[in-house]
Amino acid sequence: MKIVRKFGTRDKFDRHYEVAQVVFEEEIPDWVWHLIAICTAEDVEHALHRYAEPLIRTFRYTPKQALDRVPDDYKVCAQYKGCVMWNEQACTHLKKNVCRLLEIPTDDPDLSVALTDIVNLWRDGFYVVTDSPRPSESSR
List of residues 6+ apart from 1 with CB closer than 8 A: 22, 23, 24, 25, 26, 28, 113, 114, 117, 118
Which domain, by its residues, includes 44?
2-138
Q: Which of 86, 84, 66 is nearest to 76 (CA)?
A: 86
pLDDT higher than 50, residue 140: no
* Share above pLDDT 90 across residues of the chain, in percent, rounded to a whole number: 49
pTM exceeds 0.75, yes or no: yes
- Report pLDDT for 97: 62
Spatial separation of the C-alpha atoms in residues 105 and 21, rounded to whole Å: 23
Identify the burial level of 41 via C-beta atoms within 10 angstroms of its C-beta, where 0-12 means exposed, 13-18 middle and 19 or more buried. exposed
Counting every residue, how long is the chain?
A: 140
How many domains is the chain partitioned into structurally? 1
Identify the burial level of 132 via C-beta atoms within 10 angstroms of its C-beta, where 0-12 means exposed, 13-18 middle and 19 or more buried. middle
Reported as a single tens digit per residue, the pLDDT across 72-94 is 888 877 777 777 777 777 676 66
* Residue 90 half-sphere exposure toward CB, CA atoms < 13 A: 10
